[in-house]
Each structure stands twice: as C-alpha cells, then as structure tokens.
Chain A
C-alpha cells in the first residue's frame, strides 16, 4: 500500500543517482555542531595516533604540512539529509599517517579538540578512504567547518568526519562515540540509510 501525503507534489526534480536515499542537494554548507566552535591554534596543534601498546605517533603542524598532500574531490552526505556534491579539499591521506603504525586492533576512535568523538572501523579509514584535510574549496579550512584540520571519511555520513581532529586511538571493539551514544547508527553508511539506532 502506498501512503501519500494529500496535496504534496514535491518539486518534481529528477532523481540524481549521486544522491543516497533520503538525501537532498544543497548548494550551501550547513554547520551542525553540538557545541561552540573550539579555537585551535596551529602553533600548538598536534595530531596523534595511539595504539594498544601505548605507542604514540605524533605530528605537529609543520610536520603535517611537510607530508605529501593531495587534492580530494568528493561528495559528502550529512545524516540530517543534505548532500553536497563535488566538494574539493586538500589534505594528507590517512594511509600516509598510518604507514608506520603497528596495530592488531580493528576499530578507531576519532578525537577532536573540544571533546567530540566518533568511532569507525580501521579499514574504513585506509586505502584511500580518509584524509586529514586543512583546505576546503582552495581556502584554509574555516573553524566552523573544522579548521585548522579535520578528518574526512566521505563514504560514511559526515558526522564520522571529525572536525578539529586531535587524534586517533586504536580500539579492540567498536565502541560508540558521541553521536553513536546519542541515537545515531554505529556505522553510518548513507547508501543503506544507516542514520539511527
């Protein structure tokens, strides 16, 4: 049985195959943060990857800037239903940062300045699927959008792309981060509409 809403006809737009189910296209760039925007200075900025042995791999801003960076062209999808197609970023692939990291664990917790966390499987952050980016659309990344540097993991809903990235810790189990504890899906695949619990 199809339920339809009396009197609603929609804008009759063409279905855009680049849009995952339930998403609509936006031309602007919404900001949806749970709290105030943290103020992070590059001269004190540090990014760490911590493994189960307690080994900490560290980069300061200069070290990050010295790593090979690439331009990233991708679509992004927010769980609140907006999608932005063809966004451009510049950053360092997580493959570069994970190159010397030894770990047996399969999950990662992303930590942001300001306290935000989000979890992801390790394999979802490797093989060209994730970057630490510091530029959006050719300009330094705005603090509202996660500047000076954020993670992007475009194949998952964008809450998995931690803004103001501070570090990654390896985890044995897929422990839930902030939004995952507050009603959102543990994995977040937009193509399967994995929004909520």
Chain B
C-alpha cells in the first residue's frame, strides 16, 4: 500500500507519480509494479506499470500514459491526487533489468512511454558511477510528448527521433533502419527496447539485420497486434 506523494504532468496525456511505500523492499532498474484499483462495489482492475525509480528508497516513481479506452490509466492520469492511497504489488520482473555489475555498453531504445523503465536504468547507471557507455534513442511524436524531458535534456547521450514535428534542425518522420544504424552503439552492446509492439518489432528486427545478436536484445512491448 502506498500513498501518493506528488504528481507531475509529463506530456499532454501522461503523468509521473511519486508514491511513498514504507515497506518497499527495493527494486532493480527495469522492474515494474502491478497497480490495483478497487471500486466501491468491489470491482477491481489491475495493470502493470514500469518503475522510473530503482534502489531501496521507500519512494517509487511511475509514469503513466492515458490510453483512450483504458480502464486504469485515465484514473491514474486524470483523477489520482496527492494523499490518495494506491494498492501496489511488486517489484516484478527479472528479465528486462539492468544492474551495475553489467559492464557491457548499453543501448536503450524507447518509443513513447516505453522510456520509463529505461529512465530507471539511466538513473541507476548514474548513481552507480558505472563507466559502461549508455546511450538512449527516444522516438516520440513531438518534443512535448517526451516523458522526463527536463531530466533527459541534462544528459549527453540522448538522441531523439521525432515522428510528427520537432525542432527546425531535426529530421522528422518515422524511425528508419538507416537512422537507427547511425544512432546506436556498435554490435556487442546490450540493447533494451521498450514501447508499443509495432515499434519494438520493427526496431528489434532491424537490429538483428544490422548484425546484433538476438540474445543481446531484450524487449518489452505493450499494445496489440
């Protein structure tokens, strides 16, 4: 059980949420929680959300994008307020994670709200003082659609791929295999790809075409196909 400490609008449809969880056992970067909402009549809905935070601090951060026909996300983005209680289960997930013991260079590739677990990895990487190269390629529609925009602006190794509109000097349009090739670390890097399934599918198959070993590519996908 957690108490919402604060919320912050990230994008026109997305929000980040800090939650105090007194008995939080800690989590690894990339893990997620299940959030369960209960209506007065007992009806329950549970969905998984990646954590943007990691470590043992009893304060977690989620970021949620409101889905048009979502059941839980509209509540979390539009209704939830500081002081509310939220039922959480976690941490969950042992695969799509990054730990400071991993010394391989890391390429992070995000589509939309898929950046959330990758931000957890970036933060963990910074906190640990790891010298492994870590780069982020972030695909979003417009600059306003970036989650954690201010935080990411402070970093050096972030490349943006804007698909609808962006700064005057940016190449606008869907990510292509050629642009991907120009932006990512060489073969041998550990790659984490997260976002809508169509995006992840395209990026993962391009990476394999470019010579990346499939075993070095971890994917986390959401959405239908």
Whether the Cβ atoms of A5 and B85 lie closer than 8 Å is yes
Q: How far is the CA of A7 from the CA of B92 in the complex (A)?
A: 26
Verify if A71 is at the interface (C-beta below 8 Å from B): no
* Interface residue tally for chain B (C-beta within 8 Å): 42
Task: Name which of A29-37, A57-65, A101-109 contacts chain B.
Answer: A29-37
Given A37-B205, A80-B48: A30 touches B197 (CB 8 Å cut-off)? yes
Given A29-B224, A37-B204, A81-B46: A7 touches B79 (CB 8 Å cut-off)? yes
* Interface residue tally for chain A (C-beta within 8 Å): 38
Q: In the complex, what's the smallest C-beta–C-beta distance from B145 to chain A, in angstroms?
A: 22
Given A30-B224, A35-B215, A36-B214: A24 touches B71 (CB 8 Å cut-off)? yes
Whether the Cβ atoms of B92 and A183 lie closer than 8 Å is yes
Whether the Cβ atoms of B223 and A30 lie closer than 8 Å is yes
Contact bitstring B95-114, A, C-beta under 8 A = 1, else 0: 11000000000000000000
Q: How far is the CA of A38 from the CA of B87 in the complex (A)?
A: 38
Given A24-B45, A34-B95, A80-B48: A10 touches B219 (CB 8 Å cut-off)? no
Residues of B within 8 A of A114 (CB): 214
Whether the Cβ atoms of A2 and B201 lie closer than 8 Å is no
Q: Using A3-B38, A4-B42, A81-B46 as known contacts, list a sample of 5 further A-B pairs with CB atoms less than 8 Å apart, ordered by residue number in A.
A: A7-B84, A8-B38, A34-B95, A35-B218, A144-B201
Binding site for A on B (CB under 8 A): 1, 37-48, 71, 75, 79-80, 84-87, 92-96, 197, 201, 204-205, 207-208, 214-215, 217-219, 221-225
Report 7 cross-chain contacts, Cβ distance below 8 Å, ordered by A residue.
Answer: A7-B84, A8-B38, A8-B39, A9-B39, A31-B201, A31-B225, A38-B214
